[in-house]
Structure 1
Amino acid sequence: MPCFLLIALEGPMTAFGAEAVDARGVVRDWPGASLLTGLLANALGLMRTEAEAHQRLQERLVFGVRIDRPGSRFTDFQTAVLSRDDRGWTTRGAPEGRAGGTATYGSPHIRERDHIADMALTVALRLEPAEEVPTLENLGAALDQPARPLFLGRKACPPARPLNGGLVEAQDLMAALARATVFDPAPRPIIVLPDDPEIDPQWERLVVSDRRNWISGVHAGSRVFRRGRLKER
């Protein structure tokens, strides 16, 4: 029977990024593959420059999500005055300067960032192949003692509790999520699973781009998930 790692994600704020356009940072109510990959890679101590290790970890992830407490959405309106001399760090590990004429810096830099407050959910995941390193046991140990601080999306979103929910054996993702402790005992929490012929066809169909090409540094492609309610136990 397959083994699954349960990950508890709860915090005062979460920001599970979705497909963004321009300066608006939108979020989904569940984490995608790239976010889980980054979270686990950070716990393991992988550097951003280890793109192939990130890519391989993402390729091995098979996961589903149970939303125990949906929380409430809000938008953070951000402004910053930037000058031509200001420099910022990039994901490449080197500072980057700014271009443009002096007049282009007369107005503030404006962004909007969506968040979800007081959300709680559980992720059940397995790795294919299971015996390849890192294993589920390695991931669980890394969540218990992460190499670096962990966040639920953005750095302003720390977790409110330990993330490692333990290992369980179950027939499939649905069964693994049904076995996990529920944060807020709701009769039928929301479930998000990768599309499968055995899932109720009435479940909502979601087309998302949640996988990152860690070599090129961009998200690409799409795949289908299904969202519905867990059957009463």
Structure 2
Amino acid sequence: MSVLVLRLAGPLQSWGASSRFTRRTTESAPTKSGVVGLLAAAAGIERGDDERLAPLAALRFGVRIDQPGTRIRDFQTAHHGVTGTSMPLSERFYLADAVFVAAVEGDHALLSELHAALHAPAYPPFLGRRSCPPAEPLVLQLHEHADGIEDVLRTTPWQAADWYRRRHRPPDHLTVLREASGGESIETADLLRDQPVSFDAGRRLHAPRTVVTDPVPVPIPAGGDPRYAHDPFTALDSLEEESA
């Protein structure tokens, strides 16, 4: 079993699962449909090619919220390209300054192809919407022999931005949203309609997916990390450098 791990970070992200008409919402974490769409774009899979999409949609998916970000709202206007008449005002929601660790689990050969595609994508990847490009390289690691996304999401080091770590103490735990494994007994789970079936522009189809929520300890390296330590003289040092 192999697991491909991604770091999803950018100024804006938007992961809609139930957006309709003029109100385009975002979930609090990346959706499976959004991440599979990102991988499919990198691999050059066209929107109507459901046959090539199916193996990607069958990958087991999980995501960890490392930096929740801030939900913001934007109003957008548009005009009809032919008549010039005004279109309805639309609301679009985004996550600003968020960071997530996403993982897909499956066949090593397929994940190796996706790993290579992300380094030389056929189409530019984006974080939910075309207006949301990633700020940094997406790939963290490809684990060839892994115990599953549970273990990988529990042990991958905390990926919050440096500025966020300086301003915030490590939380008590991080939240993992993952698909249940086969035969797992689930007491509490949610249904999210983000299992991609087809990305065809004329008949986009998504099925419901069972999502399990797990709290995991913040994976900080043994011995701590100096970025987490509070130094009361840091502000004074900065003032001295500015006045020098």
2:41 and 2:218 map into 1 onto residues whose CA distance is: 36
- Is the 8 Å Cα contact of residues 210 and 219 (structure 1) preserved in structure 2? no
Matched, 1:167 2:137: no
Any conservation in 2 of the 1:82–1:109 contact (CA below 8 Å)?
A: no
Partner of 2:167: none
* Aligned position for 1:226: 212
- Give the superposed CA RMSD: 2.3
Q: Report the CA distance between 1:84 and its aligned residue.
A: 4.3
Whole-angstrom CA distance in 1 between matches of 2:20 and 2:123: 29
The residue aligned with 2:69 is: 71
Corresponding residue for residue 195 of structure 2: 211
Structure 1 spans left out of the alignment, 5+ residues: 87-104
User: After TM superposition, where is structure 1 displaced by more than 3 Å over at least 4 residues in a row?
Assistant: 83-86, 195-201
Report if aligned partners of 1:207, 1:223 keep a CA contact under 8 Å in 2.
Answer: yes
- Whether the aligned pair in 2 keeps the contact of 1:68 and 1:186 (CA below 8 Å) is no
More strand by share: 1
Give 1:44's aligned residue: 43
Larger RCO (CA within 8 A; separation ≥ 6) = 1
- Structure with the largest fraction of helix: 2
Distance 2:48 2:19 in 1: 23
The 5-angstrom pairing of residues 135-174 of structure 1 reads: 135-168=110-143, 169-174=145-150
Work out the CA distance in 1 between the residues paired with 2:218 and 2:138.
26
2:79 to 69, 78, 81: 81
Specify whether residues 13 and 112 from structure 1 end up closer, same or farther in structure 2 by C-alpha distance, changes over 3 A only.
same
CA contact under 8 A between 2:158 and 2:218: conserved in structure 1? no
* Separation in 2, partners of 1:74, 1:153: 15
Q: Do the aligned partners of residues 198 and 53 (structure 1) sit closer, same or farther apart at CA in structure 2, a change above 3 Å counting? A: closer
> 2:43 touches 2:122 (CA, 8 Å); kept in 1?
yes
The 5 A counterparts of 1:188-203 are 188-195=173-180, 201=187
Match of 2:97 in 1: 118
Cα distance, 1:57 vs structure 2: 2.1
* Gapped regions of structure 2 (runs ≥ 5): 161-169, 220-244
Mark the CA change 1:108 to 1:221 in structure 2 (over 3 Å): closer, same or farther: closer
Distance 1:225 1:110, change over 3 A: same
- TM (normalized to structure 2)? 0.76
1:105-127 alpha-carbon deviations (Å, 9 max, x no partner): 4x542111110000000111112
Aligned length: 206
Percent of pairs with identical residues: 31
